[in-house]
Structure 1
Amino acid sequence: MDYVSALVPPVVMAVFFTALVRVIVKTQGGAAKAKEDAAVDAAIARAQSSGSAASGGTASTDA
């Protein structure tokens, strides 16, 4: 029975790790994704507009 006690912890960890990965993958996207993307786009636009205002209004053409 020593082999059972030796194999149980790795099997339990593998099951929990698989469940964790499934939860992470399932929570990516969904209803909140559009809102999060919009918030990031707004923050990038603010940073770019404040950066172009600070540089004298010359916008960079690097994309």
Structure 2
Amino acid sequence: MDYVSALVPPVVMAVFFIGVIRVIVKSQGGANKAKEDAAVDAALARTQGAGQAPAATDA
């Protein structure tokens, strides 16, 4: 019975890992892709705008 208790944690972790990978793969593309792309574009615009604004005011 020691072998069962030794094998349960790796099996549980493997099942959980496979589930996480499936969720990640399924969430790529479709309507979520447009939302994620818009969020990344907005974040990039904020960082670029924040980096340029202090340089313009110092000059």
Partner of 1:25: 25
**1:36 matches 2:36:** yes
Which sections of structure 1, spanning at least 5 residues, go unmatched?
A: 55-63
* Structure exhibiting the larger radius of gyration computed from Cα positions: 1
- Cα distance change of structure 1 residues 3 and 30 upon mapping to structure 2, 3 Å threshold: same
Q: Secondary structure at the match of 1:3?
A: helix
Identity of aligned residues (%): 81
- RMSD of Structure 2 on Structure 1 (CA): 2.7
| Aligned positions, number | 54
Q: TM-score if structure 1 supplies the norm length?
A: 0.56
More helix by share: 2
TM-score (norm 2): 0.59
